[in-house]
Structure 1
Amino acid sequence: MKRRRHTAVAAAAVLALAALLPESALADARADARAGVRAGVRVGVRAAGVDPNTPAGVRPNGGSSHAALVFSDEFLGTSLDTAKWTAVDAKRRDGQYFDSWWKPSNVRVNPNPDSVNGGNLWISLSKLSGTEYATGEIESRGKFDFTYDTVEWRAQMPPNHDLFGALWMMPPGGINGVDGTARDGGEYDVIESTSASDTYGNTVHYDGYGADHKASAVSVNAPGLHSGYHTYTVEWRPDRIIYRYDGTVVRTITDPNLVSQVSLFPVISSESAEWAAGSIHDAPLDHRSNMYVDYIRVWQ
């Protein structure tokens, strides 16, 4: 968010209080306003990208050095918020046994928070033909990106039928630059739930996807991964990236060559691939194959 806007809002808030407060209280208000501007907090007003349904004062699971909520989506509307997200329509990959697509029709929001998995983002599986399947992906490319913030998703992964849920981040300019580092932007796969066990992949891809491609990957132990909802949190600082699963630190990157110094945007996807666990031919074409996302929130 632009700091000029923060400053203008803070100033307006102090002026409004001036006529109502004694001088001592007004001095405190001015101090609070200055502190809020330094922290990136808009005094008395939520940041424009914050969902009004996000509870006030929420913090990342496990804590964070970032305090100001600047973006969120609770997925409580009747449709996807296109001011924040684009649903991708593209062929994902060709396979030996089946081909896969991302289709906007496989992305929807259930508006009823009182129903099972209601008030959430739903990404479904569908069959386009005998050898073609579709899932979905949403991204905030060109609509919201951030630098050195904390992002948290609460999500339920799809079942293991050649399906996997992915929560990730990408730089707006892609990762085509080749300099031997991810400092100019990397693909940060926070989770790819490709295993049938309670583990998932956490990977940084950089230097493109061709001959110069490099990756740093770990396997994360994730108790209960395939049962219910879990939180996936990334605290990104200029000198490190801290990953948490349900509030517990599962990976910390301190290698300066792996810490992006350019902005990233969040991505949510359900994907199908022959190298993931299970068989897509066993997958039910109904809610049982869905990926569900309860919320995404970003603090700075």
Structure 2
Amino acid sequence: MSRTLDAVRRHPGSRWPLLLAGSGWIALAATALPAAGPLRVAAVTAFLLSCPGAAAVRVARPALRPGEWWSTAVLAVAVSAALTALVTETLYLARQFTAARVVLVLAVLTTALALAVRREPPGPSEPPGGPEGPGGAAGRGRKGRGRIWMAAALLTATACGGPAVGSMQDPGGPASTAPTGLPATEPPAAPPGSPRPWHPALYDDFTGHGLDSANWTTCYDWNQNGCTNAGNRESEWYRPGQVTVADGALTLTATRRATTGSDGKTYPWTSGMVSTGRDNWNAQPRHTFTYGYVAAAIQAPADSTGMFPAFWLLPAATRGGLPEIDVAEFINSNRYVDLNLHGRTPQGQDANAHQRYGPVDFAAGYHVFGVDWEPDGITWYVDGTPRLQVTDPAAIPDTPMELLINLAVGFEEAPTTDTAQLHVAWIGVWQH
């Protein structure tokens, strides 16, 4: 590196390697910006599509002949795409994928390549066979450029030839052992399910220093210094202290700690929840939604026995009851997710739907769970793939609903651990 820096001092025009080396760290800093922000998108995209390949080509081709600039630029983009695909798939298969980690790995690689001391090109000399005949140098140049274009095409095909992301599967087909769909820590740029345009109605990626009270309360609408769901015979009393925001994630923690609720009963567990509802019975809800795409990136608890995490919607006007849309429920399991609709038709008939999807290790990393709730149907998605659909118009709710995520305890089974955590990377609602 000292030789590179010395070369920069002696040749001001050679500052390009330092700019190239710093590009990845600029892109990494940009990942701290809001996920949909244009500055973040521009900085990260520009780096991923050009800089790693440019650094690699710089080492491999120390000197360019006239006319090779365009073909070399294409090769740099192709190498960048291939490296980005390779790093992304490696982290994804290792269940360590995040956008920031991809950028970090490529930033380190780009820096190392950019600051590497290149082999100096040989000086002009006559080739061993004597002076080249007519077309000799030009012929070699054409062949060299042809090899560059062929390499670029092969690398681009490699980058694009991996498993398709978000490919459609039959909701009733066999379960996949590897998740597909949108990157778990990145919100969808365009929610699935409808060609009509969307606009964000609510989005929180939990990058602040605490829970945003403008969006969330920490109890049901019947909050009186905490709350529980007596209808499910659960073992927890919800308290605000069990809800934390740190390191870009919302965490709900269930702790085996006896707590006396405002109802006079003692609960063996204390846990956490968030809702877009009311601070108390007589207040107004923070947010309600009628139709839209509702999604969240969730990591299920590692110790799942006796745990009942849920991501769901309930009616705002009645403060509970039917209808109910369960985007995702993990009932004593972190390998199977339940997708549910509970309701009644206008004629009073049951309007229920259910699908259990798995096995997938939902505790190993974040997975995206969502529903596209339209006037003529509801579609449940797991990692971007539809897993359940209801199209009976009489069964589709049309009432404003509140959004909830909670970590219930003791439903159907007794816990085998003393603490458990549910992590949420982001929550979003998009509407037409």
TM-score in terms of structure 2 length: 0.47
Alignment of structure 1 residues 65-84 onto 2, 5 Å: 65=194, 66-84=197-215
Hey, what does 1:47 align to over in structure 2? none
Whether 1:193 and 2:330 are equivalent positions in the alignment is: yes
**Correspondence for 1:156:** 299
Cα drift, residue 174 of structure 1: 2.8
Q: C-alpha displacement at 1:239, in angstroms? A: 0.2
- Contact kept, 8 Å, 1:93 with 1:100, in 2: the verdict is no
Q: CA 1:219–1:153 in 2, change beyond 3 Å: closer, same or farther?
A: same
Count matched residues: 226
**SS at structure 2 position matched to 1:128:** coil
Measured in 2, the distance between the counterparts of 1:95 and 1:169 equals 16
Classify the secondary structure of the residue corresponding to 2:386. strand
1:273 matched to 2:417? no
State whether structure 2 residue 248 is matched by structure 1 residue 119: yes
Equivalence map 1:164-179=2 (5 Å): 164-174=308-318
Equivalent position SS for 2:228: strand
Alpha-carbon separation, structure 1, partners of 2:330 and 2:369: 12
Alignment counterpart, residue 283 of structure 1, candidates 399, 410, 417: 417
In the TM superposition, residue 196 of structure 1 has moved relative to its aligned partner by 3.1
Deviation by residue 1:200-230 (Cα, 9 ceiling, x = unmatched): 22222235xxxx9874322223523232110
Q: Quote the offset at 1:260 in angstroms.
A: 0.8
Deviation at 1:249, TM superposition (A): 0.4
Query: For residue 143 of structure 1, what is the aligned residue in structure 2?
Result: 286
Q: CA deviation at 1:166?
A: 0.6
* Matching of residue 55 in structure 1 with residue 36 in structure 2: yes
3-state SS, counterpart of residue 165 of structure 1:
strand
Q: Does 1:234 align with 2:371?
A: yes
Match of 2:244 among 105, 108, 115: 108
CA-to-aligned-CA distance 1:168-188 (integer Å, 9 cap, x gap): 0112113778xxxxxxx6111
Q: Is the 8 A contact 1:198 1:222 kept in 2?
A: yes
- Matched residues in 2 for 1:138 and 1:161: separation? 22
Question: 1:94: Cα distance to partner?
Answer: 8.7
Q: Which has the higher contact order (CA 8 A, sep 6+)?
A: 1
Is this contact kept in 1: 2:367–2:382, CA < 8 A?
yes
| SS across alignment from 1:257 | helix
- Report deviation, 1:131: 6.0
Q: CA, structure 1 residues 274+67, in 2 after alignment: closer, same or farther (shift >3 Å)?
A: closer
Paired-residue identity, %: 23
Distance in 1, matches of 2:218 and 2:319, equals 21
Larger helix proportion of the pair: 2
Query: What residue identity is the alignment partner of 1:173?
Result: A
Distance 2:332 2:257 in 1: 25
In the alignment, what sits opposite 1:132? 268
CA 1:222–1:262: 2 relative to 1, 3 Å: farther
Structure 2 residue 229 is the aligned partner of structure 1 residue 92? yes
Residue 62 (structure 1) shift: 6.6
Q: CA separation in 1, counterparts of 2:236 and 2:290?
A: 32
Coordinate RMSD, CA, aligned: 2.9
Q: Secondary structure at the match of 1:235?
A: strand
CA contact (8 A) 2:276 2:402 kept: yes
Q: Which residue of 1 aligns with 2:381?
A: 244
* Conserved 8 A contact 1:109-1:120: yes
Specify every segment of 5 or more residues in structure 2 that has no aligned partner in the other structure, as ranges: 1-32, 39-186, 220-225, 259-265, 278-284
> Which whole-Å CA distance do the structure 2 matches of 1:229 and 1:80 have between them?
20
Change (3 A) 1:122 1:197: closer
Task: Tell me the CA shift for residue 149 of structure 1.
Answer: 0.9
2:254 partner letter: L
CA contact (8 A) 2:339 2:380 kept: no
2:308/2:330 contact within 8 Å kept: yes
Pick closer, same or farther for the CA change 1:245–1:62 going to 2, 3 Å: farther
The residue aligned with 1:253 is 390
CA–CA distance in structure 2, aligned partners of residues 213 and 102 of structure 1? 31
Contact 2:252 2:422 in 1 (8 A): yes
Which digits, 9 at most, give the CA deviation of each residue in 1:87-112, with x for residues without a partner? 0120334998x8321111111111xx
Structure 2 distance, partners of 1:259, 1:124, is: 33
How has the CA–CA distance of structure 1 residues 78 and 124 changed in structure 2, closer, same or farther, with 3 Å as cutoff?
same
